Amino acid sequence: MFSKKKTNDTQNPATENTAEEQLNKEITNENQEVKEDASAEPVVEISAEEQLKLDNAALNDKYLRLFAEFDNYKRRTQKERVELLQTAGKDVILTLLPILDDFDRANKAAENATDIASIREGVQLVHTKLKNTLAQKGLKEMESLNTVFNTDLHEGITNVPAPTEELKGKVIDELEKGYTLNDKVIRFAKVVVGS
């Protein structure tokens, strides 16, 4: 019995020594890791004034970049607008070229023609073709005769006494036709109004 107790007592201090050694090793490892972390990333405290200066510099940089981007956008859109205005009529001109060719042929035919009726018929055909082409592009003639005078559509040239009571305040004669393009007036009709 006695010998067993001694072996147990002798084993306990040895176990305590190894546990203490293990604990000491862990503490040393943690201290080394803390030192390594501290050396890897030094913590630098910035004053409030320095932080404001850094923020101000960042905002100025952001502002300058935004301003430059907007300036480039303005230049690009202005250039596109100029190009659009220069080529805006291209589509209409291309559709009118065949009609111009028809007028050239009509002029050649009129030089040697003796039959006025055929010349008149040819000119009428070209005129109809021109009207139809322009109508396809959205051009419409205004109907003004015998309608109430409207300053949004008509330009009154003169007033004349109305032949009947019904024509007072209405358009009696049309000197120049008015036109709308896509339902917007592009030329007012020049009219004579009955008074």
Full 3-state SS string of 83-107: HHHHHCCHHHHHHHHHHHHHHHHHH
Domains of the chain are 63-137 (3.90.20.20), 140-195 (2.30.22.10)
Determine contact, residues 192/163, Cβ cutoff 8 Å.
no
Determine contact, residues 158/167, Cβ cutoff 8 Å.
no
Local confidence band at 32 (pLDDT 50, 70, 90 cut-offs)? low
pLDDT (tens digit per residue) in 40-85: 555 568 889 999 999 999 999 999 999 999 999 999 999 999 888 8
List, in sequence order, the alpha helices (H) in the chain: 2-40, 48-87, 90-112, 116-136
Distance of CA 194 to the CA centre of its chain: 48
The confidence score (pLDDT) of residue 29 equals 66
Q: How far apart are CA 103 and CA 126, in angstroms?
A: 7
The confidence score (pLDDT) of residue 37 equals 53
* Beta bridge partner(s), residue 181: 139, 184
Residue 135, phi-psi category: left (phi > 0), alpha (psi -120 to 50), beta (remainder): alpha
Percent of the chain with pLDDT over 90: 34
